Amino acid sequence: MLGRIKGDFMGAMFIFLLLMAFWLLISASADWQHLVVGAVFCSILTVFWSNLVISSEDNKTDFSVVQILLLIGYFYKLVIEIVLANITVALIVLNPRLPISPGMIIMRCDLKRSLIRVLYVNSITLCPGTITVELEDNLLIVHAFTENYAHELEEWPLYQRLLNLEAFYKS
């Protein structure tokens, strides 16, 4: 079981650090007891992850420093987009005329890797005013709060960031 972690040490370390960061966010405390309990649980989850994901030597989690930096930049930009979308939705809702024009839009999604596609779809749903309804093959159906939101999604800068991230993966 631990041999699989040795075979993919970088992937296991990345998953452990992600889980530990999430633990620190939800525990809201950084005393030694919380850190020890978090490290134990994150280690156990990392071992289970390795058993589920890594079935052979060829199936490794390959991360480069550039990919991690691109992901950090992506999440930074996502937080900014979420805040801006919250402000926009609040202004629309507080407007006495309530200028909404809800509708569906069908978009093309050329992302190939499933993890990146899921990240993109969830990013759309995280932004207030938009909900991803379906992703099938390379078509994406999104419900938007206003017509402007729908058209802005077609040129969303986060989509281009994910295309750039995907370009760094080995085929």
Q: What is the pLDDT of residue 165?
A: 87
Is a pLDDT exceeding 90 seen at residue 41?
yes
How many other CB atoms are there within 10 angstroms of residue 125's CB atom?
14
The answer to whether 116 touches 164, Cβ cutoff 8 Å, is: no
When mean pLDDT is compared across 58-62, 104-108, 124-128, the lowest value belongs to 58-62
Q: How is the beta sheet containing 130-136 ordered, strand by strand?
A: 103-108, 139-144, 130-136
Band (123; pLDDT cuts 50, 70, 90): very high
Is a pLDDT exceeding 90 seen at residue 80?
yes
CA distances from 166 to 22, 46, 66, 162, 170 (A): 24, 24, 11, 6, 9
Domains of the chain, start order: 2-53 (no CATH), 65-167 (3.30.70)
Is a pLDDT exceeding 70 seen at residue 63?
no
Q: When comparing pLDDT for 65 and 121, which is higher?
A: 121
The Cα–Cα gap between 34 and 134 comes to 39
In the predicted model, what is the mean pLDDT of the chain? 83
In the structure encoding, which two tokens stand for residue 144, read together?
């938007």
pLDDT in tens, 87-109: 999 999 898 998 888 988 899 98
Which residue has 């207030």 as its token pair? Answer: 128
Q: What is the pLDDT of residue 94?
A: 93
Is a pLDDT exceeding 90 seen at residue 6?
no
Q: What is the pLDDT of residue 59?
A: 57
